[in-house]
Amino acid sequence: MNPKTHIPIFFIALILTLNSINGTFTPQDNFLLNCGGNSALKLEDGRIFQPDKNPGSSSFFLLTPASHNVVYSDTKPLDLYGSARVFTQATDYSFKIQQKGRHFLRLHFYPVSSPIYNLKDATFTVGANGFTFLYDFSYSKLGLDQSVVLKEYIVDLGLDSKPLVVNLVPSSGSIAFVNGIEVISLPDRVFPATGSSISENEPVEISGNIAFETLHRINMGGPYVSSKNDGLWRDWKPDGKFLINSASAIAISTDPDSIKYSSRVSVDTAPNLVYATAQEMADANVGNQRFNISWVFDVDSGFRYLIRLHFCDILSHNVGNLLFNVYINNQSALSSFDISHKANGLSTACFVDFIVEVQIEKILIQIGPPQITSSLPNAILNGLEILKFSNSKGSLDRSQGENPIGVKVKKDKNKNNLLAIVIVSFLGGAILLAILIAAFVLYFRHRKKTRDESGGSTWLPSPMAVHTHTGNSETKISLGSFASSGPSLSFSRLLAFMEIKEATKNFDESLVLGVGGFGKVYKGVLENGLVVAVKRGNPGSQQGLIEFRTEIEMLSKLRHRHLVSLIGFCHEPNEMVLVYDFMAGGPLRRHLYGSNLPCLSWKQRLEICIGAAKGLHYLHTGAEETIIHRDVKTTNILLDENLTAKVSDFGLSKLGPTVDQTHVSTAVKGSFGYLDPEYFRRQQLTEKSDVYSFGVVLLEVLCARPAINPSLPREQINIVEWAMSWQKKGQLERAIDPHLVGTVSLNSLRKFGEAAEKCLADYGAERPTMGDVLWNLEYALQLQESFMKNVGDESSMNEIKDIPDWIQEIGDSNHDSFSVVSSGTDVPTSRVFSQLMDPRGR
C-alpha cells in the first residue's frame, strides 16, 4: 500500500479546523440575504449576509409586496437562524442576475420562537421561475421540531440573464417564512451537460429547462467538510451512517496538497479534502476476497437523479493497478473501472456522472472487485453527490399540486365548454356503470349466501396473477375474473382492506408480531374466527411489489404440511397485504437465542430440522415444477403451537431449471451469512443453493447463535468457519449450545455434523440433495431416541459430558444476517467476510 495513505484521518480533521480552503472561482452573482435581520451578519466561513430590509431600486434584490413582519431569537442573536421574515400573503424575492446559466439557490429555514407567529405550524409553498421546490411545507407535518433545514437547488436562468424570482406562498389561513437566501452563480465546468444512462448505456443530454435539488453530498472515508473549506460553500457529510456494513470498508487518507486537478476537472468540482480521503475494501482475511462496499441513500421515488461519483487513486503505486466495478441500484455502472486511466495519473481528481430513474425510495451504491483481475481485489470511492431532477410538472416535491408555483394557466372558453361536455358524458357513463356494478354485486351476494347456507366453501378463486399490472393508484383486475368458472389457481381468498383492518383492529401496534423488509406483521382474527398473521407492505410504497406477486404465485401452487399456508391477500390502491396461517411459535430463531423462551431439547431441534427439510424437499421435487426458495434462514422457518416447522417467505423464490437445463442464470439474491458462494461466483442458481443455506441453519440450531455475530471473538464471528473448523478436527461438541450439555448422543451429533458439512461443500455438485439431508437427519433422530432410552437405565459413555468454559453463551442478539436484497436497515458489522455479498442484490 502507498505510504501516503497512512496519513491519519485526524490530520485531515486538523486541516479542516485550521484552514479555510476556497477555490479560485469568484462568482459574478453572489447574493446573500439575512432575512429579518437588522444588520450584516458574518458567518464562520467568512461570508457576509446582508439584511433584507428596505430594498431600494439600487439594491440587488426586490421584495414584492414588502413585508415588515419579523421575528427574532433571544438565544441566537448573531446567527443566521436568529431571525426570520414572515409573510401573510404570496411574496416574491426578485434577484437581478448578471451571469447567464445555472445558479445555486440555497434556502435556510428555522422556526424561530415568537409570541405572535407559530412558525412550527406554518404551511407554505416555495418555488422559483416556474418550478415548485416545496409544496405545503411545514415543520409540524415533517416532525422536524427545532431542526435547521437547508435546501439547495440549482436553477438554469438561460442565456438572457433573466431575474431569479423566489416565490413564498402561504397556504390558506397560514403564513410563510424564511431565514436566509443564497444566490450564487456556478462555474461553467462544474455542472455537466450530459450524464451516462445505465439502462441505455449511452449519454443523455441534460436540458436547461430542469431544476435540481441536492439530496446528498458525501465525503467518503473522511470527516465533515464545512462550507468554509469548499470554494462553492458546500457541505460534505461523512458516509458512516450510509454504509450498510461498516466492516466492509476502511478509511484511508493522504495529504490534501498532493491532490492534482487535470485540465478536464475544475478545482471547484470538489475540494481536495474530499479527494484526499476514501473508503477502500477492508481486509477480510480470506483467500478469495470478493465482496462489495455498499451505501444506501433515501430518495423520493418517481424521479430521475444525477449521481456524481468522485474518484482519486490515492492508493496505488503504479497506474493501472486499481480496477473495480461500480453498481447503482443493482445495475452495472462501471466495469473494470481504471481510475488512473480516467484521471490521467495517480492522486488526480476525476468524476463520473450517471442519470438514473428511481422507482423505489432508495439508491444503492456499491463498489467491488471485477470478476477477473490480475491485481489484488480492491475498490475505492472518494465522494458522492446525488441531485434530483424536477419532474414533468416542474416540481421537486412529490406532494406537489396540479400546477407549478408561478405558472398561470390560461383559460380558454371553448376548451372549458368542451371540458364541460366531457365531464357530463363521463358522469352519465359513471352512473350507468355504477348501476351495472350494483346489480352485479347483489347477484353475487345472493349467490354467496346460497352457497354458505348449503355448506359450500366461502373461498373465492384468486384473480391475481403475476402478470397483473398494478400502478401506484389503481389495481387493474377485471371484475369478470372474480366469477371465472375455470379452475382456480389458488386456494387463497381475495380480502377487502376493510376486512383486514377489522381483523387487526386497524393495525393496532399492540398486535405487531414482527417487522421485516416488506413491512410489519400483525396478529389478526378474521370474521369467521380464524386467527391469522397479516403481513402489510409499507403503505404507499411499491418497493415489495415483485416479492408480493411472487409470494402469491408460489404459494398458490403449493400445499404441504411443512410450508406456511397463504390464507388470502389484499391488493388495493397503495396497499399490499398477505394473510397467513398464524404460527403461534414464531420464527425458529426466537427459540434458539435472543429471547426468554424455554430452551429446545436436542430431539426437538432435530424434529424441527426434519420438518423444514421436508418442506424444502417438497419444493425441490414434490411440486409440479422445481422451486428454489433462495432465502432459507432461521427467521423464515416458523413454528406452530406444537413446534411443527413450516418454511415461509417465498418472495425471492424462483422456478428451478427444466429437464434440459442444469441451472438458472439469474442475479444473486439471498441473505448475508447464508448465501451460497458458488451461486454468487457464477450467478447460476440450482436447488443446491438452498442446501447450502440449510447447512447454515443446521449450525445455528446446533450452536444457538447467529450466522454472523461481530460481538464474538474474531475466530468465532462466522458460524460456518468456526463450527466447521471443529467438525474437521472431529470435535464438533466444542461448538454446541451449552444448554444441551449431557443430553446429546455423540453418535447423533456426529451424524448431524456430517450432514451439515456436506451441505456446506464449496461446490454444489458435492452437496447432497434435500432428500439425502432429510435421511441423515432422521437417522440422527433415531440415534438420539435410542440414546434417550438407554441413558435412563445406565450411565452412558456416548454423551457429551462438558463444554469448555471459554465458549460464550449467546444472549440477546439483534445481529440478524443482512439480506443483500432487502431495504432493511439493521445490518451487522463484521471484520470477517468468508460469506459473500451480492453486488447486484434486490
User: Cβ(329)–Cβ(286) under 8 Å?
Assistant: no
User: Cβ(208)–Cβ(128) under 8 Å?
Assistant: no
Q: What average pLDDT does range 127-147 have in this prediction?
A: 85
Look at residue 480 and tell me whether its pLDDT is greater than 50.
no
Rounded to 10 degrees, what is the CA torsion of 517, 519, 522, 528? -110
Which range of 153-167, 276-290, 505-519, 617-631 scores highest in mean pLDDT? It is 153-167
Q: What average pLDDT does range 781-801 have in this prediction?
A: 69
- Tens digit of pLDDT for each residue in 276-304? 999 999 876 555 667 889 999 999 988 99
Rounded CA-CA distance 322/516 in Å is 38
Annotated binding site for ATP: 535
pLDDT-based confidence at residue 476 (cuts at 50, 70, 90): very low
Domains 3-18+191-389 and 30-185 agree in fold = yes
Rounded CA-CA distance 722/699 in Å is 10
Question: Of all residues in the chain, what percent carry a pLDDT higher than 90?
Answer: 43
Rounded CA-CA distance 292/381 in Å is 12
CATH assignment, 587-791: 1.10.510.10
Residue with cell 455434523: 753
Rounded CA-CA distance 765/624 in Å is 23
- Tens digit of pLDDT for each residue in 90-104? 999 999 999 989 999
Among the residue ranges 157-161, 257-261, 586-590, the one predicted with the least confidence is 157-161
Q: What pLDDT shows up at residue 419?
A: 47
Four-residue CA torsion sign, 837, 838, 839, 842: negative
Q: What pLDDT shows up at residue 643?
A: 93
Helices 746-759 and 688-703: angle between axes, nearest 10 degrees: 140
- Tens digit of pLDDT for each residue in 420-429? 544 555 555 5
- Tens digit of pLDDT for each residue in 715-760? 888 899 999 999 999 889 889 999 998 899 999 999 999 999 999 9
pLDDT-based confidence at residue 665 (cuts at 50, 70, 90): low
- Tens digit of pLDDT for each residue in 531-555? 888 888 765 444 466 667 776 766 6
CATH 3.40.50.740 fits 457-477+488-581, yes or no: no
**Mean per-residue pLDDT over the chain, rounded:** 79
DSSP for 70-112, please give it.
EEE-SS-TTSGGGEEEEESS-EEEEE---S-SEEEEEEEE---
Q: Nearest 5°: phi and psi at 643? A: 65, 25
- The CATH number of domain 3-18+191-389, selected from 2.60.120.430, 3.30.160.270, 3.40.50.300, 1.10.10.10: 2.60.120.430
- Tens digit of pLDDT for each residue in 175-191? 999 999 999 999 988 99
- What grid cell was written down for 759? 451441505
Give catalytic residues, as residue numbers: 631
Question: Of all residues in the chain, what percent carry a pLDDT higher than 70?
Answer: 73
Q: What pLDDT shows up at residue 429?
A: 59
Q: Residue 664: in which H helix or E strand, if any?
A: strand 664-665
pLDDT-based confidence at residue 492 (cuts at 50, 70, 90): low
pLDDT-based confidence at residue 55 (cuts at 50, 70, 90): confident
The residues near 55 (Cβ < 8 Å, ≥ 6 apart) are 61, 62, 63
- Tens digit of pLDDT for each residue in 827-839? 333 333 333 333 3
Look at residue 618 and tell me whether its pLDDT is greater than 70.
yes
Look at residue 7 and tell me whether its pLDDT is greater than 60.
no
Rounded CA-CA distance 517/299 in Å is 17
pLDDT-based confidence at residue 84 (cuts at 50, 70, 90): very high
Rounded CA-CA distance 40/51 in Å is 6
The residues near 218 (Cβ < 8 Å, ≥ 6 apart) are 236, 237, 238, 239, 242, 295, 383, 384, 385
Residue with cell 450517471: 354
pLDDT-based confidence at residue 343 (cuts at 50, 70, 90): very high
CATH assignment, 30-185: 2.60.120.430
Q: Which residue has the higher pLDDT, 447 or 338?
A: 338
Q: Which residue has the higher pLDDT, 409 or 159?
A: 159
User: Cβ(180)–Cβ(107) under 8 Å?
Assistant: yes
Q: What pLDDT shows up at residue 213?
A: 97
Look at residue 49 and tell me whether its pLDDT is greater than 80.
yes
Q: What pLDDT shows up at residue 708?
A: 87
Rounded CA-CA distance 518/520 in Å is 7
Look at residue 469 and tell me whether its pLDDT is greater than 50.
no
pLDDT-based confidence at residue 509 (cuts at 50, 70, 90): confident
Q: What average pLDDT does range 268-273 have in this prediction?
A: 95
Structural domain boundaries of the chain? Answer: 3-18+191-389, 30-185, 457-477+488-581, 587-791
Q: Which residue has the higher pLDDT, 808 or 16?
A: 16
DSSP for 157-192, please give it.
-TTTTPPEEEEEEEPTT--EEESEEEEEEPPTTTS-
